[in-house]
Structure 1
């Protein structure tokens, strides 16, 4: 049986990025999703953070598809966001991150539908599980 590489999500992500406001919109949604979220970014250079997230989402999709090339990036991201990392994220906030991402995808991918959003959910839940495991 062939491995699901989630290539359709990479294509969806590309469509989201074409608009130019996807990452910015994601952060607007995420910041409003839970009262604890804005404090996580209080001393953050959002320009750098946006670039990191842009790369991180692509790596997360690749990781969910079993890519070994994404492993190092995922290890680094999990370490940064672990409880002892330089930018710890409470595990309880990951569902808000996921829902914010799905909402931003729905707004920015003109080909988005329920089936595609479910695939995004499956892929990102794999990545979140990896982060929680290394928390």
Structure 2
């Protein structure tokens, strides 16, 4: 089977004060998060930190963590809400897929990641 590195290998640990901020959302906070952008991207690293439910006239919000290469805990590190990328794969069909990254992200869209799957990539243990 072929293995391709398509996402950025940068990783960061969640600080205690960030962990407290990220509680009570739709996702279980993870202690370590990987950058979700394409490998070799420019600018700051970016990962999904939390999804907050909307209600009472307040829309749902997605919180993202951004940090700088080699200085993951400096003043450029921040958790902030970012709007979703509007791009869709197979838009208007039952197989429609959202990008899953924030609007204006560098590199490919989330639905473009991953190697093509061929018969040679499927092992017998994967078959049902």
Q: TM-score range by the shorter chain?
A: under 0.3
Task: Provide the TM-score with structure 1 as the length reference.
Answer: 0.22
Structure having the larger proportion of residues in strand: 2
Ranked by relative contact order (alpha carbons within 8 Å, sequence separation 6 or more), the top structure is 1
Task: Provide the TM-score with structure 2 as the length reference.
Answer: 0.23
Structure having the larger proportion of residues in helix: 1
